Chains A and B, each alone.
Chain A
Amino acid sequence: MKTAKSTPSPGLVAGLLIAGLMLAATGGVAHIVNEEPWHPVPAAYLRSLFYANLKPIPWHRIASEYDAPLREPGFAGKTVYELLAPAQAVAGIDHAAAIRRAIAERDRGALYDASTRAVAQLVRSHLERAAAALDRPAVARSEVLAAQRIYRAFADPYLEAAAPEVYRHLGRTWLELTSSIGSPGVLGAGATPPERQRFARASSEVLAFLRDNYEVARGDAGRGRLMPLPAAVDCGAIENDGVAGRLAVLPPGSNVNDQDPLPLLRLNFEARGHDERDLFMVAYGDMVFDSPRIFGEPARSLGIACSTCHNRSDVNRDFFIPGLSHKAGSVDVDGEYFNPRFNDQRDDPLDIPTLRGLRFTAPYGRDGRFASLRDFVRNVIVNEFGGPEPTPLVLDALVAYLLEFDWLPSPYLLPDGRLNDRAPEAARRGEALFNKPFPGLGGRACATCHVPSANFIDRQVHDVGSGDPSAPGARDSFFDTPTLINVKYTAPYFHDGSLETLRDVVEWFDDKHRLQLTPQEVDDLTAYLEAVGEAEEPYEVFDDENTPFALAWAELSTFLSTLDTLIPARDATHALLLLDTVGPDLRLDASAAQDRSVIPKVYEIADAVAAIRAAIAAGDWPAAAARYENYKSLAELYGPSLR
């Protein structure tokens, strides 16, 4: 049960590097520290390369990155092609035309060359304008900062991974640039003149680097994955052990970690007053649910775990990866990106389903294709996310944990699924409609499929007309009847999230199945769905005690309690999986601490955890046991103060 504030685990693994492009949430802090948003040009460029690495390549998405009007404040209504126009002045190249041609010809090598050169020359054009404006420091400053924001497309994390020395050298060169433009001061106070020579020196260095590395034609020959790496890496002039080729980076606009508000997690054993630490399988499964390490690449390096999508047993409604998601909260889990072997070649993102009440909702999958939860979960791990075959313990523990997911109590439902007397009047009129057979539904009622006394499901698949059959008359758009419990909080609706509100669903049925509802009936049926779908306390409520970090600490320390079982059993495989998941998470979660003075304590605990890991890796079980005791006393000492 990872919280929204959790962040990707660093690639401790096999030299793989972490996604660098998504800055962590800084949670509403001050202009003192506003995060730099992406400039639209590097953002469009990086997304286009990301798309060009998918199969089949979504060319329409690439085209619209460049020619759709932008919505970003300050650029609204413009297109990326228009923003590239100033770059033409640099060398007379019509970048828009070159990129358009590459897209029209579906030539990914040409797209790579043309767009990389365009970005580089846009940086160049801003630096040239800064040079021309050195006697107006405020103008020069904004030009240099603009250049730097666009240069970011190449720098971090690509150049950083491919050529750390060059990256640092250029980082200092940019500091030379920002420092040599002088300062306008305020009303003349504190004004400093530009240092022209220093500026010229630094600027020519950056420009030469761009010219030699990003303004050269490289074509598609032999190149697998397209990445904004310097040509010097391609041709081997910079040695990097192929590290850069294995970088896992999500494009700008991705959001896999932030979620606000955070869904409330309701676990059955907790509701019954048991402590997770007494339930080994559940606690271990909880950890596995949070572990990117059960997956293959790139999910593992990106820190993607079950909880990334099914956050707190519910859904990460903000989850979005350009090219894989068609809207927030959706993802295509059988495409090229996560496991090329499992690529079904169809661009078919699905709305991520909630897992609440999972033990009652078999069969599994939007189309109900798996009867067994264990089979479904194995398929997720091995096929969807390319992980190694999980051990029986990993699978069983995960299933044990999933089976604890409860729905949130509804204020209006009786055990048999009827509304109680506290339900609003309109909802109770809607209840009658819900149970009324309609000719348009073939004489069935809504309740025939969403059986109120059976958790609003019938455990069947139906074609209600929400799908997209492969051919007229083809019988391949059946979907599993979803429950309506807590449905008020699971928008958008249907397998593809195509309907935004419950009213939309009612209107859709009315329209598609000719129910001939009056406007009043539409209102009533909607009110009924809202009442059935209500939850008393849908979201985690944070306060001074229950902070996001306190929550993260509670779960990480629960995971670690499984060492009570694993160390005596000398189970190195599972102890290491646990420690490799928790150790990095602990360090990363530290940045979410409300009280920043506790951060060093968290690092100290993380060091203690790392020490246990080292002992187990070395096969020294007595030392592992002793160090585990040491960790426990630290946890006891610091735990209560960790907020």
Chain B
Amino acid sequence: MIRRTALFLTIALFCCAALPAAPPDAKPLVLAFVPQENPEKLIGDVDAICAYLESELGLPVKGYVTLDHTAAIEALRNGDADVSFMGGLPYVLAHNEIGAQVVLAEVYRGSPTYRGRIFVRKDSGIKTLADLRGKSIAFADPISESGFLYPRDIFAREGLLPRDADLKSFFSTVYFAGGYQQAIQAVANGFVDAAGVSQFADLLLRPEELAEVTWIAESDLIPSHVVVARKGLDPERLAAFKRAMLKLNQPDYRHLLKHVYSPDGYVETSHQAYAPVEELARAYGLLRTDRGG
């Protein structure tokens, strides 16, 4: 295991006021949130979800917003956090490195899976993936299953760009735009020829932009984002936490989902569901093969 310099750069730490009912010496349950687009946005959300969990669990609950995935995973490793929220790829990396366990999967539009897509402008004349040879493409982020790995793998699947090949041997320029919105807008606004991002990314376009964009290829199914817990978290605590999170599926609690990245709900899942992500991560050299969970 490689130890890195402490990247645990916490942007902010928020404590929800402990519930009077909670035993005074109870160790708080700690949630680490990874900023998805900008760090500020989540901070308001953290308070709301902690307050809900405190009242459900009768325990103090704290939330951290971390700088990035590594920081969140380091926190899980050190016991500085008990639970975190992340995409399938960071999860399999965390599972392999520190034994993080999957708790629940998020549901969007009725499904715990989604796809990556290759978007182009309608007026670009680009109809097939092969047309993208020598063209520019924007992905969201290199450590993202739907914002890079899966869309990238479409080109391997179609025999256009082998998994071990340099991206530059097919595309003229490859960009990482920093997020889905930046990537999909880069296509809509004509900065790049294509974007490889989540199938939902086009929801971020203004209606008049949407009318100008279409997609030409779709990845295999990607298992959804997950709630993960650190290895060794007290099973009772974990079970209670899971129950509280599943309760968010009920009509009376649904409004709280927007405070945890707004999925439509949660379902039970298993590590097995993430085997395809693991396989892909391994194929792209992101996982070492000599390590088990």
Q: In the complex where A18-B208, A28-B258, A588-B207 touch, is A73 in contact with B70 (Cβ < 8 A)?
A: no
A187 lies within 8 A of chain B by Cβ? yes
Partner of B203, one of A33, A74, A187, A188: A33
Chain B residues contacting A187 (CB-CB under 8 Å) are: 2, 4, 70, 73-74, 93-94, 97-98
- Whether A184 contacts B70 by the Cβ 8 Å rule is yes
Instruction: Assess whether A34 is in contact with B37, with CB atoms less than 8 Å apart.
Output: yes
Chain A, residues 165-199, CB within 8 Å of chain B (1/0): the string is 00110011001101100011111111010000000
CB neighbours of A34 from chain B (8 A): 36-37, 41, 261-262
- Does chain A have a CB within 8 A of B266? no
From B24-32, B187-195, B237-245, B272-280, the one touching the partner chain is B187-195
Contact status of A178 and B206, CB under 8 A, knowing A74-B40, A172-B192, A186-B94: no
* Structural contact, A75 and B40, CB atoms closer than 8 A: yes
Closest 4 pairs between A and B when the two form their complex, measured CB to CB: A74-B40, A73-B44, A31-B261, A171-B191
Question: Most A CB atoms within 10 A — which of B71, B98, B176, B181?
Answer: B176
The answer to whether B175 touches A160 (Cβ under 8 A) is no
Residues of B within 8 Å of A186, CB to CB, are 69-70, 73, 89-90, 93-94, 143
Can you report 22 A-B residue pairs in the complex whose CB atoms are below 8 A from each other?
Answer: A29-B108, A30-B106, A32-B198, A32-B201, A33-B200, A33-B204, A36-B38, A36-B179, A73-B44, A73-B45, A74-B12, A75-B40, A138-B9, A138-B70, A171-B190, A178-B176, A178-B177, A183-B143, A187-B2, A187-B94, A189-B281, A591-B203
A643 at interface, CB cutoff 8 A: no
Nearest residue (CB) in B for A40 is B40
Contact A74:B41 (CB < 8 A) given known A178-B177, A588-B207: yes
Chain B CB within 8 A of A629 CB: no
- A190 CA to B71 CA in the complex, in Å? 15
Residues of B within 8 A of A184 (CB): 7, 68, 70
Additional A-B contact list (6), CB under 8 Å, known A33-B200, A175-B182: A31-B262, A32-B198, A138-B67, A175-B192, A183-B141, A186-B73
> Of B39, B69, B89, B176, which contacts A179 at CB under 8 A?
B176
Size class of the contact patch on chain B: 35 or more
Chain A positions within 8 Å of B207 at CB level:
7, 24, 587-591
Interface contact A175-B175, CB-CB below 8 Å: yes
Q: How near does chain B come to A70, taking the closest CB pair, in angstroms?
A: 10
> How many residue pairs, one in A and one in B, have C-beta atoms under 8 Å apart?
180
Interchain CB contact (< 8 A) of A32 among B9, B44, B146, B189 = B146
Query: Which residues of A does B touch, CB under 8 Å?
Result: 7, 10, 18, 20, 23-24, 26, 28-37, 72-75, 138-139, 141-142, 144-146, 148-149, 156, 160, 167-168, 171-172, 175-176, 178-179, 183-190, 192, 587-591, 599, 603
Give which listed residue, A7, A33, A37, contacts B38 with CB less than 8 A.
Answer: A37
Asked whether any CB of chain A lies closer than 8 Å to the CB of B186, the reply is: yes
Instruction: Report A-chain residues with C-beta under 8 Å of the C-beta of B286.
Output: 189-190
The CA-CA distance from A144 to B108 in the complex, in Å, is 30
Are B180 and A188 within 8 A (Cβ)? no
Nearest chain B CB to A317's CB is how many angstroms away?
18
Contact A179 B143 (CB under 8 A): no
Specify which of A10, A31, A178, A190 is in contact with B225 (CB 8 Å cutoff).
A31
Q: Considering only CB atoms, which chain A residue lies closest to B178 in the complex?
A: A178
List CB contacts (< 8 Å) of B68-88 with chain A: 68-71, 73-74
Residue from B93, B109, B138, B208 within 8 A of A175 (CB atoms):
B138
Question: Do the beta carbons of A148 and B181 come within 8 Å of each other?
Answer: no
**Which residues of B from 149 to 169 have beta carbons under 8 Å from A?**
none
Select one of A29, A36, A141, A178 contacting B200, CB under 8 A: A29
- B53 on the A face (CB < 8 A): no
Q: Which residue of A lies closest to B191 (CB)?
A: A171
Point out which of B44, B146, B181, B189 has the most chain A C-beta atoms below 10 A from its C-beta: B189
Q: Nearest Cβ distance between residue B293 and chain A, in whole angstroms?
A: 15
B209-241 interface (Cβ within 8 A of A): 210-211, 225
Residues A74 and B178 in contact, CB atoms below 8 Å apart: no
A72 contacts B40, CB within 8 Å?
A: yes
Pick the contact of A74: B36, B39, B206 (CB < 8 A): B39
Scoring A187, A591, A603 by chain B CB atoms within 10 A of each residue's CB, the highest score goes to A187
Closest to A599 in B: B210
Please name the residue on chain B nearest to A155 by beta carbon: B189
A189 is contacted by which of B37, B43, B109, B287 (Cβ under 8 Å)? B287
User: Does B189 lie within 8 Å of A168, measured CB to CB?
Assistant: yes
- In this assembly, does B119 line the interface, its C-beta being within 8 Å of a C-beta of chain A? no
Q: Which residues of B contact A146 (CB under 8 A)?
A: 38
A69 → chain B, closest Cβ, in Å? Answer: 15
Asked if B114 is at the interface (CB within 8 A of a chain A CB), the reply is yes
> In the bound complex, do residue A32 and residue B108 qualify as a contact, i.e. CB atoms below 8 Å apart?
yes
* Residues of B close to A149: CB separation below 8 A: 38
Return the chain B residue nearest A22 by Cβ. Answer: B206
- Whether A36 lies near B177 (C-beta < 8 A) is no
A190 touching B142, Cβ below 8 Å = yes
B98: chain A residues within 8 A (beta carbon): 187
A39: min CB distance to chain B, Å: 8
Q: Which residues of A contact B42 (CB under 8 A)?
A: 73
Q: How far is the CA of A35 from the CA of B178 in the complex (A)?
A: 13
Q: How far is the CA of A175 from the CA of B190 in the complex (A)?
A: 12
Find residues 248-281 in chain B having any chain A CB closer than 8 Å to their own CB. 258, 261-264, 281
The docked-state distance in angstroms from the alpha carbon of A603 to that of B182 is 25
Report yes or no: B2 in contact with A188, Cβ–Cβ below 8 A.
Answer: yes
What are the residues of chain B within 8 A of A7 when measuring CB–CB?
Answer: 206-207
CB under 8 Å from chain A, chain B span 90-106: 90, 93-94, 97-98, 106
A148-B183 Cα distance, complex, nearest whole Å: 13
What's the Cα separation between A404 and B38 when bound, in Å? 48
Chain A residues with CB under 8 Å of B38's CB are: 36-37, 145-146, 149
CB distance from B257 to the nearest CB of A (A): 8
